[in-house]
Chains A and B, each alone.
Chain A
């Protein structure tokens, strides 16, 4: 065995290498394994000094070196573990003012509504459920596109809904809707890495005029999503809205929103129980 390897082993295990002292090394195992291996070899100075020592003294020294190696490795592991856990206190500072990491590309999970319920109100006693259903389906597409742009698209988390997304609103309403973007969309959330829709509801009531043409509709929307922030915390997003839509030049557009509300709540990430999770089962 080359002596130089013994030297390195002593430094790592006994004196505290730069990697352990400042805790910058993210992989404590990388240091632990060589230390244990190389601790089996006597250091060059001692090896020279004890060249003529009896075998019993050799064993003691060996035991001591093993002890020092294990202790040092444990110290390294402890410090690294502390540094790692330091980022997850409740509620974490990093999560309170999340800073987007340039390395993290937010995930894009597209969103589509499914129609829950379609009902009609007619000017007269006659009804046209098929026409109402067709209108509701087109409204579903319009609102799906809007919610996809206003909540699911990661670009929205930084810059707001894309300019083309506002075409969901009628021309006279766009200006006002942009001013109400905090109620109508998610708005800017720094550090959001992913947003997954967890539940949504879309009920549509269609108004049929005397000739049974679709004149307008009210859409009742609820949208729930769960997100993750860079610090590990969770984001709960809820939006409820009532939209009035009308067909304008062959396209259904939002002409009014009698009520719209968005809330985004940050919750600390749940900590795994000490008796559960991969670490615990690996230990067991």
Chain B
């Protein structure tokens, strides 16, 4: 009886040992050696379900035809009516239908042209005779282009505008040392304060081609402004409001505020590289004892080109 009982105990002990061994193996397999069972650590890779999705969209003014704006600079001195002095800076800005390309077309201030109702005279006298409205009529009669809006500023207005937006980085095309305007620059990019931008825009003595070069340099100021707005706007869109405010306080215009905001938004979509800066071709001469610019006949093809789609010279 004892022998049988002892064998049974031994057999049961073996079974228990086998069970224990199985338990150990099971535990080892399930807990210790299962691949990937280690606890998560800081080095565990992060899965990007959406990689960084970025988007940008600013709609431009809608329209079925190109948009034309006449930008004028008066040579009014302090105390004088800005809109009844000569227009020393005259630029027609054409923006194409898609609002992504543009042309800046400068008119030399001494251009000898027909002024509706006043005969033939220097173009800048149109403002003395009839203000910005007559300037618009004169440009329309020369080019055959319907002008949508006009904007007019003064020496002080330009200076204050540039200061208001924190200066303007302008690429000076050649060295300038002009005591009349105060332009004193090395060639290359220069961050200008208001008075420097004004001097750069006024200089016609120390330029390769007198008033033609000056008109083109004024176009360069527009381009510099466009480039600066394009750089600042995506990161800080409210900069647009600052620019609008600076413009409104220093510019006379027939643009309603809402359209000005539309135009400003449109401007953010125009790449400076997509803007052609031209000056109406002509030759200097005299008329009535005054030094004038005779608009070249080739200008008519430029006007026709621009009339079609807002663009010229490409």
Do A and B belong to a common assembly? Answer: yes
Q: Provided the pairs A74-B23, A82-B34, A266-B49 are in contact, do residues A244 and B237 lie with their beta carbons within 8 angstroms?
A: yes
Q: Which of B26, B44, B47, B234 contacts A259 (CB 8 A)?
A: B234
Q: Provided the pairs A68-B16, A124-B249, A183-B53 are in contact, do residues A256 and B58 lie with their beta carbons within 8 angstroms?
A: yes
What is the 8 Å Cβ interface bit string for chain A, positions 65-83, against chain B (1 contact, 0 not)? 0011001101100110110
Q: Which residue of A lies closest to B269 (CB)?
A: A256
A218 and B237 within 8 A (CB): yes
| B209 contacts chain A at the CB level, 8 A cutoff | no
B54 and A183 within 8 A (CB): yes
| A205 contacts chain B at the CB level, 8 A cutoff | yes
Total chain B interface residues with beta-carbon distance under 8 A: 58
| B50 contacts chain A at the CB level, 8 A cutoff | yes
A28-36, A88-96, A159-167, A276-284 - interface stretch: A88-96
B248 CB contacts on chain A under 8 angstroms: 123-124, 210
A216 to B237, CA, bound (A): 12
A176 and B57 within 8 A (CB): yes
Q: Write the nearest CB–CB distance from B123 to chain A, whole angstroms.
A: 31
Q: Which of A57, A71, A242, A255 contacts B5 (CB 8 A)?
A: A57
Interface residues of B in 4-29 (CB under 8 A from A): 5, 8-9, 12-13, 15-16, 19-20, 22-23, 26-27, 29
B54 and A261 within 8 A (CB): yes
What is the 8 Å Cβ interface bit string for chain B, positions 138-181, against chain A (1 contact, 0 not)? 00000000000000000000000000000000000000000000
Interface residues of A in 201-226 (CB under 8 A from B): 205, 207, 209-210, 215-216, 218
B51 CB contacts on chain A under 8 angstroms: 263
Q: Write the nearest CB–CB distance from B253 to chain A, whole angstroms.
A: 11
B245 CB contacts on chain A under 8 angstroms: 121-123
A172 and B62 within 8 A (CB): yes
What is the 8 Å Cβ interface bit string for chain A, positions 52-71, against chain B (1 contact, 0 not)? 01000100110010011001
A2 to B9, CA, bound (A): 26
Q: Write the nearest CB–CB distance from A76 to chain B, whole angstroms.
A: 10
| A184 contacts chain B at the CB level, 8 A cutoff | yes
| B288 contacts chain A at the CB level, 8 A cutoff | no
| B45 contacts chain A at the CB level, 8 A cutoff | yes
B49 and A258 within 8 A (CB): no
Q: Which residue of B lies closest to A176 (CB)?
A: B57
Q: Write the nearest CB–CB distance from A49 to chain B, whole angstroms.
A: 9
| B46 contacts chain A at the CB level, 8 A cutoff | yes
A78 and B31 within 8 A (CB): yes
| B78 contacts chain A at the CB level, 8 A cutoff | no
Q: Which residue of A lies closest to B249 (CB)?
A: A124
Q: Provided the pairs A78-B31, A244-B265 are in contact, do residues A67 and B16 lie with their beta carbons within 8 angstroms?
A: yes
B58 CB contacts on chain A under 8 angstroms: 244, 256-258
Q: Which of B36, B237, B257 contacts A242 (CB 8 A)?
A: B237
A177 CB contacts on chain B under 8 angstroms: 57
A130 CB contacts on chain B under 8 angstroms: none
| A235 contacts chain B at the CB level, 8 A cutoff | yes
B52 and A207 within 8 A (CB): no
Q: Provided the pairs A182-B50, A187-B50 are in contact, do residues A271 and B40 lie with their beta carbons within 8 angstroms?
A: yes
Q: Provided the pairs A74-B23, A189-B49, A264-B50 are in contact, do residues A172 and B59 lie with their beta carbons within 8 angstroms?
A: yes
B40 and A79 within 8 A (CB): no
Interface residues of B in 220-238 (CB under 8 A from A): 233-235, 237-238
A157 to B88, CA, bound (A): 61
B40 and A75 within 8 A (CB): no
Interface residues of A in 261-278 (CB under 8 A from B): 261-271
Q: Write the nearest CB–CB distance from A214 to chain B, whole angstroms.
A: 11
Query: What are 12 A-B contacts with C-beta separation under 8 Å?
Result: A60-B9, A64-B13, A75-B26, A91-B47, A121-B241, A173-B59, A180-B57, A205-B238, A244-B265, A257-B58, A260-B56, A261-B53
Ranked 3 nearest A-B pairs via Cβ: A82-B30, A183-B55, A180-B55
Mark B residues whose CB is within 8 Å of A.
1, 5, 8-9, 12-13, 15-16, 19-20, 22-23, 26-27, 29-31, 34, 36-41, 44-59, 62, 233-235, 237-238, 240-242, 244-245, 248-249, 257-258, 261, 265, 268
- Supply 5 further A-B pairs (C-beta < 8 A) apart from A61-B8, A82-B29: A64-B12, A121-B241, A186-B50, A261-B55, A262-B53
